[in-house]
Amino acid sequence: MDFSLTEDQQNIRDAVLKHCSQFSDDYWLEQDRKGEFPFEFHKSMAEAGWLGIAMPESVGGAGLGITEAAIMMQAVAEAGGGMTAASSIHGPVFSLEPIEQFGTAEQQQRMIPPILSGQQKMCFAVTEPNVGLDTTKLKTRAERCQGGYKVTGEKIWITNAHVADKMMLLARTTPLEDVKRKTQGLSLFFTDIDRDKIETQLIPKMGRHAVGSNMVFVDDFFVPEEDRIGEEGDGFKIILQGLNPERVLLGAEAIGLGRAAIQRAAQYARERVVFDRPIGMNQGIQHPLAKCWAQVEAANLMVMKAANLFDKGAECGVEANTGKYLAAEAGFEACHTAMLTLGGMGYAQEYHVERYLREVLIPRTAPVSPHMILNFIAERVLELPKSY
């Protein structure tokens, strides 16, 4: 049992931190203020080959695992870019898994390389208004037509839909009332976005302004049959394969953001002098930060355990959800404590911790709430009755 990074993994971490150092905290603050997608950062990560870290070499990837992807995404957030930096490249790192696992060889070669190279950007369109986590109740319909499908419906909270070229889309191809099991009849597509048939509206929100979240309205949108991933009706089963790696990566990003907050707060506590002494001498400052450090590093162990299990092909649902839960809670406490450490200046944008605090609420809330994770653990680990 070894809890340390391998030499190669440490090299990945060091290289990503060095690469991201080109983009200062002030860069990310300015992107947040403008609400503009960080095209320069996305392009630089694509050109350096990082977007394909977990994709096979046959499609232009590095052929590594979710563990290495988690190490990379953690370093991206930790370098100061937080969830803005992570979310700008998060999709290609894990959202292409359905194509890699269930797509044909032709689809893999046609669809994956342009995303990894940065030539194209993608979004992942699953969630809908009034459906929440009850994915089997999706109302977006994909009806058979000559050569493919016509899709009509609405999606919500779709990251980067306003700047994306491609969309991973889950829609119902068989009405719910016509299937034996409610998980049947959903199909997955990866296709070009036709702006004449797809309208996006940015959702004004609390943080991560540079990476937009969208309402998406789809009206009579044609999707060629060759853009369907896997068999018709198997979409729900296919997207389930990506849930655990998504939770692992969100957990890793929350750890990175928590570390960034602790580092900035500790630096401030060393330098800020009140009553002729640095405030970092006071245990009222030391203890909360030390506690946050311990919680963040403990959560990191569970996140990496889940990543390791996934890469071994072992069951990791409990560990992935637990890691995401612990990392998000510890990351939030770290960002909140950092803000309190800086006092009034913590509320000022120029010190960045207020941005960290706004952004850390994303992994705490999405893609599944802490309450639903606790429901899952209670049911799967403690064998308690299902509560929903």
Domain enclosing residue 101, as ranges: 7-116
Which H, E and C letters describe 80-136, residue by residue? HHHHHHHHHHHHHHHCCHHHHHHCCHHHHHHHHHHHHCCCCCEEEECCCCCCCCCHH
What's the confidence (pLDDT) of residue 93? 87
Judge if 78 and 134 occupy the same domain.
no
Judge if 373 and 244 occupy the same domain.
yes
Q: Give me the tens of pLDDT residue by residue for the chain, a chain 388 residues long.
A: 789 999 999 999 999 999 999 999 999 999 999 999 999 999 999 999 999 999 999 999 999 999 999 999 999 999 999 999 999 999 888 889 999 999 999 999 999 999 999 999 999 999 999 888 889 999 999 999 999 999 999 999 999 999 999 999 999 999 999 999 999 999 999 999 999 999 999 999 999 999 999 999 999 999 999 999 999 999 999 998 889 999 999 999 999 999 999 999 999 999 999 999 999 999 999 999 999 999 999 999 999 999 999 999 999 999 999 999 999 999 999 999 999 999 999 999 999 999 999 999 999 999 999 999 999 999 999 999 999 8
What's the confidence (pLDDT) of residue 361? 97
Judge if 35 and 59 occupy the same domain.
yes
Of 70, 92, 116, which one is at a domain's C-terminal end? 116
Cα R_g (the chain), whole angstroms: 21
What is d(CA 306, CA 315) in angstroms, rounded to the nearest whole number?
9
What's the confidence (pLDDT) of residue 123? 96
Judge if 357 and 255 occupy the same domain.
yes
The CATH number of whichever domain residue 17 belongs to comes to 1.10.540.10
Of 87, 116, 145, which one is at a domain's C-terminal end? 116
Judge if 69 and 150 occupy the same domain.
no
Judge if 206 and 246 occupy the same domain.
no
What's the confidence (pLDDT) of residue 317? 96
The answer to whether position 386 is within a domain reads no
Query: What is the number of domains present in the chain?
Result: 3
Alpha carbon 296 to chain centroid, angstroms: 18
Judge if 66 and 135 occupy the same domain.
no
Long-range residue pairs from 278-282, CB within 8 A, at least 24 positions apart, any chain: 279/341
Judge if 261 and 208 occupy the same domain.
no
CB 295 within 8 A of CB 368: no
What's the confidence (pLDDT) of residue 91? 86
Judge if 356 and 266 occupy the same domain.
yes
Residue with structure tokens 């637990």? 322
Diameter of the chain measured on Cα atoms: 79
The answer to whether position 2 is within a domain reads no
CB 41 within 8 A of CB 88: yes
The answer to whether position 388 is within a domain reads no
Question: What pTM, to 2 d.p., does this model score?
Answer: 0.96
Of 101, 116, 131, which one is at a domain's C-terminal end? 116
What's the confidence (pLDDT) of residue 241? 85
Tokens, residue 189: 């597509």
The answer to whether position 140 is within a domain reads yes
The answer to whether position 1 is within a domain reads no
Judge if 184 and 272 occupy the same domain.
no
